[in-house]
């Protein structure tokens, strides 16, 4: 198995309960955020020496939920300061962005890192569409077109133009092209049938997160495999990534205590402001089709929010406990979901840096040796 | 604006052709399936006089045994243009028609002003591409959005004759090496159009043409298979009209000033 040290870069000190999104920055000290960037990037740089195969980051806007409006900037720093870990950007929110710019920045990161980019192409969560004033109902069609345009930009040596539904670029020839040929591996979300279809067509890594039930998740994986076969290829565990929050401590009790506290901040402070914005998007646009309305980000998150840490562990939603417990839980995920890639968020909410570091040490010394060969 | 079907007597024999519209002349050279009066072609008649000659043997016309190669067909087109169209005109080709258009631009460089090569045939490197023999697979290769087909289907007899005539002229050539060697001599400003879902003309063909035609550009039409005019008529027409009007300058976004 391979493990991604994934970082949301949350703001951990928000001492009020934010009531609206976008969230005000009144009273926020940007020099504190400078310190956080340093702390978080240090954790990510160190991760490659703690048994993690990838280091990862992603994109969010306008709130303390995540401080990376452009994860490519973080990846640029990681490209220079790491030497062996894959740099997984999971990912750029393609429908919100200029796809040519994404193609260029991703190619730069791949070249700067010597061919270590994992390129996440994501649709994002609903309220992000307000941030960049993009119609949510166009999210899927934009994602599809942008994905194909970026691959063309990476793989076509001769200049070309693009005439599409959302994008028209009459003259494209990005410099440099990625080192990885034909192009860096692509990672996309495939939590429902419609997205799985496109991920299979693009032969991308399937990503699934916020698992509320292992049987439902296994069903999504099976559907992805079946669809991939119809496109003429057979996914392996290296094509299936599962995202989980994780807390590893010396004892089960200690880990559960830290996870419970961090999740309280995560759900009550970081996630709170965007709920109303998400409801606005869901109520007034066709962000979700009928097919995926019942199994979406919001419903899964709401389910998890209502569960205790123990219930989440039992359901396969999170990984939490002593090294021995964590090894068992990882083996279970590997067996039930046939996944070869785990996207692990150790910095959950306001989890203290010392707990994160201890978790990294335990992962390196006691967990990784037992699960890397799975 | 509608097309009329007419005939003209030429030194090599009789030639049928469709003509419609008013404005700057455009010669449209058809694909191996014969002439399809597609929506963009009809719309183009609003600003251009469009001539669509039918290669003898296609679309129910009488065959002409003197036509043995693509160059033979192109010689007939050149005579047609000289007599009817004028000394200089724009050319749009579709698949086999683009192959023909390339020969026209190399043999008669002074005739061709703007050259638009839709899904150009004649450059199947390493045997890639081509139309599948199975009818269902062939149909899927031609159309990503078959529900957009608006023309009346041609009869099986006509389609068979079209196929036979095409095979005689194409002579099983995978890569037209003679034409390839002459690409650098093309003077016409050229636009190469490809469908992102096209498996009949491999992307390498478009790249080869772009690399070798001195003043050329190419564009991918998103979500179109081989029949770009049917699958994405608005996108195809937009590129045609922009390029015919502005040539290589069509890459500049003029914004509201364009109006």
pLDDT value for A303: 82
Across the interface, whether the CB atoms of B219 and A161 are under 8 A apart is answered yes
Peptide bond into A77 cis (omega under 30): no
Provide, rounded to the nearest whole percent, the portion of chain A with pLDDT above 90. Answer: 86
- pLDDT, one tens digit per residue, over B90-100 is 999 999 999 99
Across the interface, whether the CB atoms of A159 and B210 are under 8 A apart is answered yes
- pLDDT, one tens digit per residue, over A279-331 is 888 888 888 776 565 556 677 777 888 899 999 999 999 999 999 999 999 99
pLDDT value for A287: 83
- How far, in Å, CA of A269 to CA of A281, rounded? 20
Instruction: Please name the member of A148, A170, A171 whose beta carbon is closest to the beta carbon of B196.
Output: A148
pLDDT value for A278: 82
Cα of B191 to nearest chain A Cα, Å: 10
Q: Using an 8 Å CB-CB cutoff, list chain A residues near B207.
A: 156-158
pLDDT value for A69: 97
Q: Using an 8 Å CB-CB cutoff, list chain A residues near B223.
A: 145, 164-165
| Residue in B with minimal Cα distance to A172 | B219
Average pLDDT over chain A, rounded to an integer? 94
What value does the mean pLDDT take over residues A345-365? 98
Find which of A146, A148, A163 to mutate to test the B interface (most B CBs within 10 Å of its CB).
A163
Strand A86-93 and strand A160-163: pairing?
Answer: unpaired
Cα of B199 to nearest chain A Cα, Å: 15
pLDDT value for A276: 81
Instruction: Please name the member of B211, B238, B239 whose beta carbon is closest to the beta carbon of A158.
Output: B211
pLDDT value for A194: 82
pLDDT value for A290: 62
Cα of B209 to nearest chain A Cα, Å: 10
pLDDT value for B184: 98
Cα of A290 to nearest chain B Cα, Å: 23
Least confident residue range of A6-10, A215-219, A246-250, A261-265: A215-219
CB contacts < 8 A, A to B, total: 54
Cα of A150 to nearest chain B Cα, Å: 12
- How far, in Å, CA of A348 to CA of A119, rounded? 23
Instruction: Please name the member of A157, A162, A171 whose beta carbon is closest to the beta carbon of B220.
Output: A162
Torsional class of A62: left (φ above 0), alpha (ψ -120 to 50), beta (otherwise): left
Across the interface, whether the CB atoms of A171 and B235 are under 8 A apart is answered no
Banded model confidence at residue A258, pLDDT cuts 50, 70, 90: very high
Does the predicted TM-score (pTM) go above 0.90? yes
Across the interface, whether the CB atoms of A163 and B210 are under 8 A apart is answered no
- Residue A226: how many CB atoms within 10 A of its CB? 12
- How far, in Å, CA of A141 to CA of A162, rounded? 15
Q: Using an 8 Å CB-CB cutoff, list chain A residues near B232.
A: 163
Instruction: Please name the member of B221, B223, B251 whose beta carbon is closest to the beta carbon of A170.
Output: B251
Torsional class of A125: left (φ above 0), alpha (ψ -120 to 50), beta (otherwise): beta
* Chain A residues within 8 Å of chain B (Cβ atoms): 145, 148-149, 152, 156-165, 167, 170-171
Domains and CATH numbers, chain B: 4-258 (3.40.50.1820)
pLDDT value for A223: 95
Cα of A221 to nearest chain B Cα, Å: 27
Cα of A208 to nearest chain B Cα, Å: 27
Across the interface, whether the CB atoms of A162 and B251 are under 8 A apart is answered no
Residues of chain B with pLDDT under 70: 1, 258-259
Banded model confidence at residue A275, pLDDT cuts 50, 70, 90: confident
pLDDT value for A304: 80
- How far, in Å, CA of B182 to CA of B188, rounded? 13
Please report which helix (H) or strand (E) contains residue A173, including its range: none
pLDDT value for B259: 57
pLDDT value for B1: 65
What value does the mean pLDDT take over residues A45-63? 97
Q: Using an 8 Å CB-CB cutoff, list chain B residues near A152.
A: 196, 220
Instruction: Residue A242: name the closest of A114, A144, A354, A374 by CA.
Output: A374
| Residue in B with minimal Cα distance to A163 | B221
Q: Using an 8 Å CB-CB cutoff, list chain B residues near A145.
A: 222-223
Q: Using an 8 Å CB-CB cutoff, list chain B residues near A159.
A: 210, 217-218
Token pair, residue B16, equals 């049928």
Cα of B65 to nearest chain A Cα, Å: 40
- pLDDT, one tens digit per residue, over A185-195 is 999 998 788 88
Across the interface, whether the CB atoms of A156 and B221 are under 8 A apart is answered no
Token pair, residue B145, equals 């959005």
User: Do A194 and A289 meet the contact criterion of CB atoms below 8 Å apart?
Assistant: yes
Say which residues have a Cβ less than 8 Å from residue B120's Cβ, sequence separation at least 6.
B93, B95, B98, B99, B102, B192, B201, B205, B206, B209
Domains and CATH numbers, chain A: 2-371 (3.20.20.30)
The three-class DSSP label of residue A250 is coil
Spell out a b/e string for B137-157, using b for 16 or more CB atoms within 10 Å of the CB, else e.
Answer: eeebbbbbeeeebeeeebeee
* CA A216 from centroid of its chain's CA atoms: 20
Q: Using an 8 Å CB-CB cutoff, list chain A residues near B218.
A: 158-161
* Chain B residues within 8 Å of chain A (Cβ atoms): 196, 203, 206-207, 210-211, 217-223, 232, 235, 238-239, 250-251, 253
């Amino acid at each position: 198995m391979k493990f991604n040290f994934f970082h949301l870069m949350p703001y951990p000190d928000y001492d009020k309960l934010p009531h609206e999104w976008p969230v005000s920055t009144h009273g926020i000290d940007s020099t504190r955020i400078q310190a956080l960037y340093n702390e978080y990037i240090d954790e990510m740089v160190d991760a490659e020496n703690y048994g993690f195969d990838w280091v990862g980051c992603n994109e969010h806007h306008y709130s303390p939920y995540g401080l990376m409006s452009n994860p490519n900037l973080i990846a640029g720093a990681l490209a220079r300061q790491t030497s062996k870990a894959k740099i997984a950007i999971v990912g750029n929110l393609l429908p919100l962005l200029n796809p040519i710019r994404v193609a260029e920045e991703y190619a730069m990161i791949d070249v700067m890192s010597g061919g270590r980019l994992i390129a996440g192409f994501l649709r994002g969560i609903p309220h992000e569409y307000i941030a960049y004033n993009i119609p949510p109902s166009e999210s899927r069609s934009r994602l599809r077109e942008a994905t194909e345009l970026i691959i063309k930009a990476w793989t076509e040596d001769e200049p070309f133009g693009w005439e599409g539904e959302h994008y028209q670029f009459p003259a494209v020839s990005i410099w440099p092209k990625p080192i990885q040929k034909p192009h860096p591996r692509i990672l996309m979300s495939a939590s429902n049938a419609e997205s799985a279809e496109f991920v299979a067509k693009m032969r991308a890594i399937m990503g699934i997160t916020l698992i509320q039930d292992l049987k439902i998740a296994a069903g999504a994986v099976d559907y992805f495999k079946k669809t991939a076969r119809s496109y003429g290829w057979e996914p392996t565990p290296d094509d299936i990534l599962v995202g989980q929050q994780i807390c590893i401590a010396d004892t089960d009790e200690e880990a559960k205590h830290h996870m419970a506290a961090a999740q309280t901040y995560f759900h009550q402070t970081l996630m709170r402001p965007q709920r109303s914005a998400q409801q606005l998007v869901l109520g007034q646009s066709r962000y979700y089709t009928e097919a995926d309305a019942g199994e979406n980000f919001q419903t899964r998150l709401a389910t998890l929010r209502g569960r205790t840490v123990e219930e989440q562990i039992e359901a396969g939603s999170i990984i939490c406990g002593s090294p021995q417990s964590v090894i068992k839980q990882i083996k279970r995920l590997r067996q039930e979901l046939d996944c070869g890639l785990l996207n692990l968020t150790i910095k959950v909410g306001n989890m203290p840096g010392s707990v994160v570091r201890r978790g990294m040490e335990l992962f390196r010394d006691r967990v990784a040796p037992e699960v890397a060969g799975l | 604006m509608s097309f009329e079907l007419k005939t003209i007597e030429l030194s090599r024999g009789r030639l049928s052709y469709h003509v419609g519209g008013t404005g700057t002349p455009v010669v449209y050279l058809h694909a191996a399936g014969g002439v399809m009066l597609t929506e963009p072609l009809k719309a183009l008649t609003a600003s251009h006089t469009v001539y669509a000659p039918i290669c003898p043997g296609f679309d129910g016309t009488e065959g002409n045994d003197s036509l043995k190669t693509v160059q033979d067909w192109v010689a007939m087109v050149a005579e047609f243009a000289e007599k009817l169209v004028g000394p200089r005109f724009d050319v749009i080709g579709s698949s086999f028609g683009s192959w023909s258009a390339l020969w026209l631009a190399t043999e008669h460089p002074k005739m061709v002003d703007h050259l638009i090569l839709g899904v150009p045939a004649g450059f199947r490197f390493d045997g890639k591409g081509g139309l599948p023999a199975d009818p269902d697979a062939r149909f899927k290769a031609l159309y990503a959005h078959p529900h957009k087909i608006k023309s009346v289907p041609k009869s099986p007899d006509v389609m068979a004759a079209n196929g036979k005539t095409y095979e005689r002229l194409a002579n099983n050539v995978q890569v037209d090496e003679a034409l390839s060697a002459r690409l650098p001599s093309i003077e016409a400003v050229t636009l190469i159009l490809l469908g992102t879902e096209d498996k009949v003309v491999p992307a390498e063909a478009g790249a080869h043409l772009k690399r070798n035609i001195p003043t050329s550009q190419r564009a991918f039409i998103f979500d179109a298979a081989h029949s770009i005019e049917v699958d994405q008529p608005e996108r195809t027409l937009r590129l045609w009209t922009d390029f015919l009007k502005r040539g290589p300058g069509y890459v500049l976004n003029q914004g509201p000033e364009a109006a």
